Amino acid sequence: MEKTDTIILSPEELAAYMAESTISVTSTYEHSPVILMVDDTVIGTLGNFSASIGKAKSKKTFNVSAIVASALSGSTVLHYRSMFPENKRKILYIDTEQGRYHCQQVLKRILRLADLPEYKNPDNLIMLALRKFSPKLRLAIVEQAIGTIPDLGLVIIDGIRDFLYDINSSSESTDIISKFMQWTDDRQIHIHTVLHQNKNDEHARGHIGTELNNKAETIMQVEVDKEDKTVSVVEAVHIRDREFEPFAFRINEEAMPEPVESYLPKEKKTGRPTKGPFDPDKEIPKNVHRPALDAVFANGNINNYDDYIERLKEGYGLQGIKLGYNKAVKVATLLSDKQMVIKEGKDYAFNPEYHY
């Protein structure tokens, strides 16, 4: 069951919040300071948050290492540039997925990218490995760190999914994103987080992915190049500033990300993406066929092809699979090939002993 807020405020408290939130046309409000860029495009400002998304093994953490190294050194790393105010130079790096050894390897990689020595802890970077803690305790630790570390400017959270018990919980997701908005506004910091994409599409996982898309300043996608699996491509999928030109990197022999200067961005097609021809073997889940065919043959064999096609449209429709005539014909071909429906004379008969 989704939880509900139980905050009860007095009229005086609500009036104070209203006064604090009122925007005046005669007041002066500062523009959020820019602190992170890709080439000449703004991807991060103080008081906001951003995210990197990508499928497993797309090198998301290597990409984040470059962002942190740029923030730590003030130099350009890959295509990332940074410009933090003097009182915002501290960086907090939260890792929720890896153990202490692998977190240390990430820390060493960041220091090498920033041209800093590996034999001493950096003055402006704190890394916390929170893998062993529960989501609730992880959140409490991060809130304490954000609230107490002086001169904090950048917080990396790799990855946000581990703050939730249920990635599809709307209430948990709203709570986490509300925390992000509160922390970034109250402390005037920037948070960059990492989230996996779904295996079968380009969407960020779960309800938390939806919330990130709705509220983040920038969403960047890290994707393995389809033509060269050693190359990862970074591009903007949602950004408030103008889109930057996609860039690519690969991991060199020293296990460090390096730019692929020869990479040419793929031309994006306008309009809806073209979809291949309907393939019932791939697009209809295997567990749908039996209940659909039970409905199709509920009254026994069917002795007419046109009736058979109509019954396929009805039976699969009951399972949420909408078929027009042409798609139903392709389904009929699949059922015949798989011996799920067999021809007995002129009749079409369901074979309940089929093996898909």
Q: Are residues 186 and 303 in the same domain?
A: no
The contacts of residue 53 (CB under 8 Å, 6+ apart) are 60, 194, 195, 196, 197, 204, 209, 212, 219, 220, 221, 222, 237
Structural domains of the chain, count: 2
Residue 304's φ and ψ, nearest 5 degrees, are -145, 130
Cis peptide before 206 (omega within 30 of 0): no
Q: What's the sign of the alpha-carbon dihedral 282, 288, 292, 294?
A: positive
For residue 291, the domain's CATH number is 1.10.10.10
Q: What is the pLDDT of residue 267?
A: 65
Q: What is the dihedral of CA 175, 197, 33, 108, to 10 degrees?
A: 110
- pLDDT: which is higher, 272 or 95: 95
Q: Is pLDDT at 4 greater than 50 in this prediction?
A: no
Q: What is the dihedral of CA 134, 136, 142, 145, to 10 degrees?
A: -100
Residue 160 belongs to a domain: yes
DSSP E strands: which ranges in 240-355? 247-251, 257-259, 341-344, 347-350
Report yes or no on whether pTM surpasses 0.85. Answer: no
Q: Are residues 163 and 219 in the same domain?
A: yes
Find the domain containing 311 and state its range: 280-350
Q: Which tens digits make up the pLDDT trace of 251-306?
A: 999 999 999 988 887 765 544 455 678 888 888 988 899 999 999 999 999 998 88
CB 73 within 8 A of CB 217: no
pLDDT above 70 coverage of the chain, percent: 95
CB 109 within 8 A of CB 59: no
Q: Are residues 314 and 170 in the same domain?
A: no
In this prediction, residues 166-174 reach a mean pLDDT of 91
Task: Say how many C-beta atoms besides its own lie within 10 A of residue 245's C-beta.
Answer: 13
DSSP character for 343? E
* Average pLDDT over the chain, rounded to an integer: 90
* 6-27 per-residue burial string, b: 16 or more CB within 10 A, e: under 16: eeeeeeeeeeeeeeeeeeeeee
Q: Which tens digits make up the pLDDT trace of 298-347?
A: 999 999 888 999 999 999 999 889 898 889 999 999 998 888 999 888 89
Q: Are residues 247 and 284 in the same domain?
A: no
